[in-house]
Amino acid sequence: MVTAGHDHSLPENTPTPGAGLDASRMPGHWLLARLGKHVLRPGGLELTRWMLDALAVGPDDRVVELAAGLGATAPLTLARAPAAYTAVDRDPAAVARLGALTAPEPAEIRAVRADAADTGLPDGSATVVYGEAMLTMQPEPAKRRVVREAHRLLAGAGGRYAIHEMCLLPDDIDPALAARITADLHDAIHVGTRPLTPAGWNELLADAGFTVTARRTVPMALLEPRRLVADEGPMRALGIAGHALRDPSARRRVLHMRRVFRRHRHHLGAIGLLAVPTTSAR
């Protein structure tokens, strides 16, 4: 547990998940992290900032971030000075990075190695729970378990839950097209990517006892140059491009991912949802 320090940054020399895997086989988000990309959320920093604004994190909040990954969102959360922040991730390298976070007193920070669907944290121990770019990669039963865990963690009145995920558009998308997009994503990212429509995400939250109170969608432009610069800054964006140019296997993977995103750009988006617990899960 970390309870001291003067910034919210992660040291650059902490381990990266998947560091020992071959670039041609590793999950796409780990590959991008190896190349130096910090922001791995489908809606970029724009949608992450919207999510945190909607959550209205403040000094009385006890925040839990599910599947916190490389910790790109954690500094933005800590800048809002919550009373406590707990990062949950099942990857030991991610937990090691997250455990190196620092924040001014009296913020209490800890990193827990656990599954997002079974955190081991006490009932009602959080006032804010959020997760980004992780439910999309889960099959439906696992999605439901994670959302129910978020419901369990939230305290009574005033609890808030938010997600930031990939979505299929529009709500009445042809099932055959949706299946083709899902297959193409799996082929490119090497992870079982299963995005839902906006209505599908809303239903998932409702079934777990949440009422959605705010929603925003933005284009899925993770690997477009303009988004890359906006999320990473000009110098880091150039560094990512340079690393890809020097690694032919990684470059092929990145270009393949970008082609898939562009091919389906009219039916792929990123969505942020804010919800409050209102009933018990169905």
Tens digits of residue pLDDT in 98-151: 888 877 666 799 999 999 999 999 999 999 999 999 999 999 999 999 999 999
Question: Which backbone phi and psi does 37 adopt, to 5 degrees?
Answer: -80, 130
Largest CA distance in the chain: 53
Mean pLDDT in residue range 155-164: 90
Helix 140-153 and helix 198-207, axial crossing angle in degrees, nearest 10: 50
Task: Identify the pLDDT of residue 245.
Answer: 92
Q: What percent of the chain has pLDDT over 70?
A: 89
Judged against a pLDDT cut of 50, whether residue 164 lies above it is answered with yes
Q: Is beta strand 62-66 parallel, antiparallel or unpaired with respect to 84-89? A: parallel
**164 touches 42 (CB < 8 A):** yes
* CA within 13 Å, CB half, 209: 19
Give the pLDDT band (50/70/90) at residue 30.
confident
The structural domains of the chain, with segments of one domain joined by +, span 28-277
- Report the chain's mean pLDDT, rounded to a whole number: 89
> What class has domain 28-277?
alpha beta
Does residue 6 have a pLDDT over 60?
Answer: no
> E strand or H helix at 232, and its extent?
helix 225-232
| Contact (Cβ atoms closer than 8 angstroms) between residue 100 and residue 76 | no
Asked if the model's pLDDT at residue 162 lies above 70, the reply is yes
Distances (CA, A) of 43 to 24, 105, 114, 155: 25, 31, 25, 28
By percentage, how much of the chain surpasses pLDDT 90? 73
